[in-house]
């Protein structure tokens, strides 16, 4: 297929590399001349331009843009997308994006690959990002059936498992397992960076190893993404934070009360529950 990708950062660039390996012809849109040059050097697409008219060639288009640009797209972007093309996005929230684009394009299907790293920008993409990843699609009762079929088949061809949910269900679920961890990791990093005792702080930095690295990774990533998630999935994230605080308060009370038996039980329960999430 002739596939357009608008935005060649981590997700868009990785898509460009993967889809080229599957013999699709990729038309990539960069946001400026510097990134266009970098994208060409990395061969993120077969054709790369800052000119949105490049999309006129495409049968399917993927919007790999920041959330704010998906919710409030430019008139130039909207006008450049052929009405007959299949269209999807890869945004981390879905309700507002789907609501906007369903009104703008008859063959739009919201989607979100559950894949990423702490890196961003044109230099961050790599072909294997989506291998064995879960990819959510969020069609509605208004969705074009051929669009659902075509986009689903493309996702599966990239070695991804596919999951279908409503936009509302998606945003509630990812607030718990994707968005909440960003803010927990940020708080953990701040807590570890204690200023009460400089020698302890210095030692903590020296001792930080894989456990701290794994737990804090998402807090050391794209701060702009974290901000946009908070702004556009606010109520779900606040609810997730409240649930977490209640769970943490319980653990705190068990430690204060030296209730080691119940604390051990809670830790064991968490260990077993984790297996449901992480196979």
pLDDT of residue 201: 84
Is there a contact between 74 and 17 (Cβ–Cβ < 8 Å)?
Answer: no
Please report the DSSP string for 146-187 in residue order. HHHHHHHHHHHHTT-EEEE--HHHHHHHHIIIIIHHHHHHHH
* CATH 1.10.1740.10 fits domain 170-277: no
Work out whether strand 108-113 and strand 134-138 pair parallel, antiparallel, or are unpaired.
antiparallel
Tally Cβ neighbours within 10 Å of residue 129. 20
pLDDT of residue 246: 98
Digits of tens for pLDDT over the chain (279 positions)? 999 999 999 999 999 999 999 999 999 999 999 999 999 999 999 999 999 999 998 999 999 999 999 999 999 999 999 999 999 999 999 999 999 999 999 999 999 999 987 788 898 989 999 999 999 999 999 999 999 999 999 999 999 999 999 999 999 999 999 999 999 999 999 988 877 788 888 898 899 988 888 888 888 777 888 999 999 999 999 999 999 999 999 999 999 999 999 999 999 999 999 999 987
- Per the document, the length of the chain is 279
How far apart CA 72 and CA 70 sit, in angstroms, is 6
For the chain, the structural domain boundaries read: 2-165, 170-277
Q: Which fold has domain 2-165?
A: Rossmann fold (3.40.50)
């Amino acid at each position: 297929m002739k596939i357009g990708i608008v935005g060649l950062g981590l997700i868009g660039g990785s898509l460009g590399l993967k889809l080229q390996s599957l013999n699709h012809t990729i038309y990539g849109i960069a946001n400026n001349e510097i990134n266009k040059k970098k994208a060409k050097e990395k061969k993120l697409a077969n054709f790369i331009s800052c000119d949105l008219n490049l999309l006129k060639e495409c049968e399917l288009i993927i919007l790999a843009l920041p959330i704010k640009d998906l919710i409030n797209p430019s008139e130039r972007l909207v006008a450049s997308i052929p009405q007959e093309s299949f269209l999807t996005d890869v945004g981390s929230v879905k309700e507002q994006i789907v609501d906007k684009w369903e009104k703008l394009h008859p063959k739009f299907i919201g989607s979100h690959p559950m894949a990423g790293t702490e890196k961003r920008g044109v230099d961050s993409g790599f072909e294997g990002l989506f291998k064995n990843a879960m990819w959510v699609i969020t069609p509605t009762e208004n969705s074009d059936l051929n669009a659902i079929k075509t986009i689903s088949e493309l996702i599966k061809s990239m070695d991804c498992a596919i999951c279908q949910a409503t936009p509302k269900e998606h945003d509630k679920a990812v607030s718990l397992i994707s968005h909440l961890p960003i803010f927990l990791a940020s708080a953990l990093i701040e807590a570890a960076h204690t200023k009460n005792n400089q020698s302890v702080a210095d030692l903590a930095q020296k001792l930080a190893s894989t456990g701290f690295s794994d737990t804090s990774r998402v807090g050391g990533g794209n701060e702009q993404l974290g901000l946009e998630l908070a702004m556009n999935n606010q109520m779900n994230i606040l609810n997730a934070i409240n649930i977490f605080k209640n769970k943490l308060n319980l653990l705190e009370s068990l430690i204060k009360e030296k209730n080691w038996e119940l604390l051990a039980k809670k830790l064991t329960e968490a260990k077993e529950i984790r297996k449901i999430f992480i196979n």
